[in-house]
Amino acid sequence: MSNRTFELARTRVTLFEALLRARDARGGKYPILEDHERKVLSYDDIVRAAFALGGKLDTLIKRHETAGIMLPTGVGCVATFFALHAIGRTPALLNFTAGAMNLKAACQSANVKKVLTSRMFIKLAGLEALEAELSKHVRLIYLEDVRKTIDFGDKLVALVKGAMPRVFAAKGNPDDTGVILFTSGSYGTPKGAVLSHANIVGNVEQVHAHIDFDPNWSFFCPLPMFHCFGLTGGVMLPLFTGHKTFLFPSPLQVKEIPKLIKETGANVFFATDTFAMQYARNAKDGDLNCIELMVCGAERVKPETREIYKQRFNIELLEGYGATEASPVISVNIPGRNKHGTVGPFLPGIEWRLEHVPGIEGGQKLFVRGPNVMRGYLDPTKPFGIDLLPQGWHDTGDVVDVDQDGFIRILGRVKRFAKVAGEMVSLNAVEAYAANVWPENLHAAVALPDSRKGERVILFTDRADATSEALLAWCKANGASELAVPKRIVVIDSIPVLGSGKTDYVALQRTAAEQFAEAKAA
| 469/69 Cα distance (integer angstroms) | 49
Res 518 pLDDT > 90: no
Alpha helices in 61-196 (DSSP H): 75-86, 100-109, 119-125, 128-134, 143-148, 152-163, 165-168
> What integer is the mean pLDDT of 310-318?
94
How confident is the prediction for the chain on average, in pLDDT? 89
d(CA 114, CA 97) in angstroms, rounded, equals: 18
Residue 510: its pLDDT value, please?
A: 84
**Which of 80-89, 153-162, 430-439, 446-455 is the most confident on average?**
80-89
Residues β-bridged to residue 29: none
pLDDT tens-digit series, residues 463-495: 988 888 888 888 888 877 777 778 788 899 888
Identify the band that residue 267 occupies on the pLDDT scale cut at 50, 70 and 90.
very high
Alpha helices in 211-301 (DSSP H): 228, 237-241, 256-264, 273-282
Look at residue 485 in the predicted model and tell me its pLDDT. 79
For residue 185, the model assigns a pLDDT of 60
Residue 184 pLDDT: 67
Mean pLDDT of the region 238-250? 96
Sorted by where each starts, the structural domains of the chain and their CATH numbers stand as 12-198 (3.40.50.12780), 421-521 (3.30.300.30)
Q: What is the pLDDT of residue 496?
A: 86
Whole-prediction pTM value?
Answer: 0.85
- The three-point CA angle 70-201-350 to 5° equals 115
Look at residue 439 and tell me whether its pLDDT is greater than 60. yes
Q: What is the pLDDT of residues 320-348, one digit of tens each?
A: 999 999 999 999 999 999 999 999 999 99
Summarize pLDDT for 391-411 with one digit per residue, the tens.
Answer: 999 999 888 999 999 999 998
Beta-carbon contacts of residue 323 (< 8 Å; ≥ 6 apart): 228, 330, 394, 396
pLDDT number for residue 383: 75
Residue 422 is predicted with a pLDDT of 63
Residues 171-178 have a mean pLDDT of 94
Confidence of residue 186 (pLDDT cuts 50, 70, 90): low
